[in-house]
């Protein structure tokens, strides 16, 4: 994963997504997933995944 600093303090991430993960993201975006979702973009899915992983690791997000 590579990050590039953009305007307004945003960082653009360039990530490698493996085929099995791309299939999961595709299903989520096509609403073929059994649980409701609150987002409609791959970037939002990646953001939520990072947040969940940080929580799993015990990283405080409000710091």
pTM of the model: 0.53
The mean pLDDT value for 12-18 works out to 83
CA 57 to chain centre: 16
Instruction: Check residues 61 and 58 and name the one with the higher pLDDT.
Output: 58
Of 49, 54, 29, 30, which Cα lies nearest the Cα of 39? 29
Helix orientation angle between 19-29 and 42-57, rounded to the nearest 10 degrees: 120
Of 16, 17, 18, 13, which Cα lies nearest the Cα of 2? 13
Q: What is the pLDDT of residue 21?
A: 82
Q: pLDDT, tens digit, for every residue of 16-60? A: 888 888 888 888 778 787 776 666 677 787 888 888 888 888 888
How far apart, in whole angstroms, are the C-alpha atoms of residue 53 and residue 55? 5
């Amino acid at each position: 994963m590579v990050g590039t600093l953009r305007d307004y303090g945003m960082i653009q991430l360039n990530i490698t997504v493996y085929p099995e993960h791309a299939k999961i993201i595709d299903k989520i975006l096509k609403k073929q997933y059994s649980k409701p979702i609150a987002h409609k973009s791959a970037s939002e899915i990646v953001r939520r995944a990072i947040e969940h992983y940080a929580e799993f690791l015990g990283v405080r997000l409000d710091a």
